[in-house]
Amino acid sequence: MNFLNQFSKNKLLKITILMSVICFFGVNIISSNLLKSFRFDMTSNNLFSLTEGTKNLISNLKEPIHLRLFMSSSIVELAPQLSNYANRVESILNAYENISNGKITLEIIDPKPFSDEEDRAVGMGVSAFGGSSSNDPMYFGLAATNSTTGQKNINVFSPDREPFLEYDITRLIAELAQTKKPLIAILDKLGLEANSRVGKPEQQVLAQMKTLFDVQFLEDSQTELPKNTKVLMLINPKYLSDNTMFMIDQWILNGGSTLIFLDPYAETEMGLNPGMPALNPRSDLKKIINAWGIEFDNKKSIADPKFALRTVRNIKGRQVEVSNYPWIQVGNEGMNQKEAVLAQLSSIVLTNAGSFIVKDKEISFEPLLTASQFAGMVDADKAGNPQEDPRKLLKDLKTSNEKIIISGWLRDNLNSAFPEGLKDKKGVTKSIKKSNVLLVGDADMLMDRNWLTKQNLVGQEIATAFANNGDFVLNVVENMIGGSVLSDLRGKGISWRPFLKIAELERKAEEKFLSKEQALAEKLGKMELKIQELTKNNKSEKDVLSPETIKAIEGFKLEMMSTRAELRTVKFNLRSDVENLKSWIMFINIGLLPTLIAALALLIAIRKPKSARNLN
């Protein structure tokens, strides 16, 4: 205390301020270097933190991954609404690098116009956006490579995908960690493969899967899955032997990812004879799914007056367009938007779909697709009869005002359908790992007719999608290849928020000044045209301008300069209110608030407590 008493209050205040500034910069420098990997996320949705699933995936990486973030430095200036999102992307990618123990390296590249860095971005397939006659294109994407030839991109970090930012990056890393195509095992009782006997081509879903995965079909009597199977897909399963069902049961209980398409009336299933319907178009996997506490009635179809498609039916010899209630188009209203596999999908078309009922209320069954509140269940045979008038189904339609589940994700600990084993085979009776099973109540959705139209153009068949059935299947399979890590990831909140006040000011400014700007621009155009006419209509010999013409042109030029100056002023005023607001926001956030807090802290620090004064 004696030492401090040597200084006056003014000197003490100056020393305190100086030491505070030194401490401020010192703490920042030290923390940025020594505490780089330490993060304290105070956002409500943990926007800047990684989930445990992602951390587990990264800790088990065997393959080094190199991430290249191509982010234009001009993005904050030209697209300020993206600044928070850009900070989050960079922060999240740094988090991946920091916890990877050197397996993930991050390179941040600013692809300035006409630079080598821009050539790298273009060469690696990262897309530019926002280019115009007055602005250079910007880049905000990710290119990732492994140690071989594998490369995966996020061409543009779109704000629409921000809730699934961690999901997209983790999926990209999981795919690059695979050194060869993942194996998908398919047990197909519907007919995705080409059939030359009836002239049926290979279905597009299967063709797309073959380009991305190693697809292997299973025989009906198969009792073992191929080695290194990543996903098991069951399509319209029925007539399965106990040995085959035991194989499926044990695969699922051991955490195997499984995609199951059931159907109460598979309209597209071929019969034994060409052109004839199947004798039994119903799926049957009751023994297994009933053991999970889930029920699927394979004799009832969903009829939905709200989601129904209109189709042409032959009714009493006449072609009539009617609402076909069992044929439904599920849009955003019936999609679980929290699930990444459905993000940015518009619609999925299902025909004669069945429903799932959860009998065991403790089972975790997350709906993905649901019918509307006006839907109900009808007889599947009547719904699937192409000669019937679908409008008659409304007489028997009973609704409960509860949304019927068409598809759902089963993630829980399940019981075996074979608790006693099978003859000389013994297996686990309960899940060793949490299940990763997706149930879908319609197998026909996989067929081309449910989501594609085909046209013949100059001898070549062109397919055009009118629904997202194919995207849905590929999204689910890719998700499942990532295992429970990707299945457990959910959409988080978003850091991107539009500047509503700024947008409102811009709109009002445009309304106020735009008409004047347009009038001045029109006046300028007329004067330029007048000068061109005077020059063109010169009557003097040898193209020498007459003194009258020169005087008129000079007058117009002076007026043009005045008009351009006025136009610049109008354009400046158009942005002045917006720029003033931005400046105030920056001043308050960067200058005023920290200054007030620092001043308050200093005041408290140098003010002597009453008790100390009394002692003196």
Under the banding of pLDDT at 50, 70 and 90, the label for residue 18 is confident
In a domain, 327, yes or no: no
Asked if residue 124 is part of any domain, the answer here is yes
pLDDT of residue 8: 63
DSSP classification of residue 279 = S
| Amino acid in position 81 | Q
The stretch 480-499 carries a mean pLDDT of 58
| pLDDT at residue number 9 | 64
pLDDT at 67 (0 to 100): 96
Residues 432 and 477 in one domain: yes
Residue-number span of the structural domain to which 12 is assigned: 2-35
Of the listed ranges 158-167, 343-352, 504-513, the one predicted with least confidence? 504-513
Domain membership flag for residue 538: yes
Residue 464 inside a domain? The answer is yes
Residue 108 has pLDDT above 90, yes or no: yes
| Strand partners for 399 | 376
215 shares a domain with 83:
no
User: In sequence order, which residues have a C-beta less than 8 Å from that of residue 183 and are 6 or more positions away?
Assistant: 213, 214, 215, 216, 226, 228, 229, 230
Please say if the pLDDT value at position 463 is more than 70: yes
Q: Residue 158 is part of a domain; what is its CATH number? A: 3.40.30.10
The domain boundary, picked from 143, 176, 209, lies at 176
Q: Are residues 464 and 551 in the same domain?
A: no
Q: What is the pLDDT of residues 356-387, one digit of tens each?
A: 999 998 999 999 999 999 999 999 999 998 88
Residue 519 pLDDT > 70: no
- Integer Cα distance of 322 and 320 in angstroms: 6
Last residue of a domain, one of 141, 176, 211: 176
| Average of per-residue pLDDT across 79-105 | 88
Say if residue 346's pLDDT is above 80.
yes
Domain end point (choices 176, 205, 237): 176
Q: Which range, of 239-253, 275-289, 578-592, averages the lowest pLDDT?
A: 578-592
Residue 276 lies in a domain: yes
Summarize the confidence of residues 433-447 as an average pLDDT: 96
Is residue 512 predicted with pLDDT exceeding 60? Answer: no
Report the alpha-carbon distance of residue 71 to residue 578 in Å, rounded: 25
What domain count does the chain have?
4
pLDDT score, position 114? 84
Quick one: residue 71, left, alpha or beta (phi over 0 = left, psi -120 to 50 = alpha)? Answer: beta
Greater confidence, 73 or 492? Answer: 73
Ranked by mean pLDDT, which of 139-153, 227-241, 527-541 comes out on top?
227-241
What is the chain's percent helix, strand, coil content, to nearest 5?
40, 20, 35
Checking if the pLDDT of 225 tops 90, the result is: yes
Residues 64 and 92 in one domain: yes
State the chain's mean pLDDT as an integer: 81
Domain membership flag for residue 333: no
Buried b (16+ CB within 10 A) or exposed e, 427-452: eeeebeeebbbbbbbbbbbbbbebbb
Q: What is the mean pLDDT of residues 103-132?
A: 89
Q: How confident is the model at residue 233 (pLDDT cuts 50, 70, 90)?
A: very high
Same domain, yes or no: 13 and 111: no
Q: Looking at the structure, do residues 520 and 582 belong to the same domain, yes or no?
A: yes
The mean per-residue pLDDT over the stretch 331-347 comes to: 88
Same domain, 117 and 69: yes
More confident residue, 348 or 21: 348
CA distance 87 to 235: 44
Residue 87 pLDDT > 60: yes
362 with 237, same domain? Answer: yes
Q: How confident is the model at residue 570 (pLDDT cuts 50, 70, 90)?
A: low
Question: Is the pLDDT reported for residue 109 higher than 60?
Answer: yes
Residue 97 located in a structural domain = yes
518 and 462 in a common domain: no
How far is it, in rounded angstroms, from Cα 135 to Cα 32?
34
Residue 337 and residue 343 in contact, taking contact as beta carbons nearer than 8 Å = yes
Residues 409 and 283 in one domain: yes
**Would residue 394 count as lying in a domain?**
no
Residues 264 and 362 in one domain: yes
- Cα separation, 308 vs 306, in Å, equals 6
Residues 213 and 229 both lie in one domain: yes
Local confidence band at 133 (pLDDT 50, 70, 90 cut-offs): low
Residues 136-150 have pLDDT tens digits of: 788 999 999 998 888
Could you give the C-alpha distances from 590 to 28, 582, 583, 594, in angstroms and in order?
16, 12, 10, 7
For the ranges 93-107, 162-176, 360-374, the lowest mean pLDDT is seen at 162-176
Lowest mean pLDDT among 201-205, 297-301, 612-616: 612-616
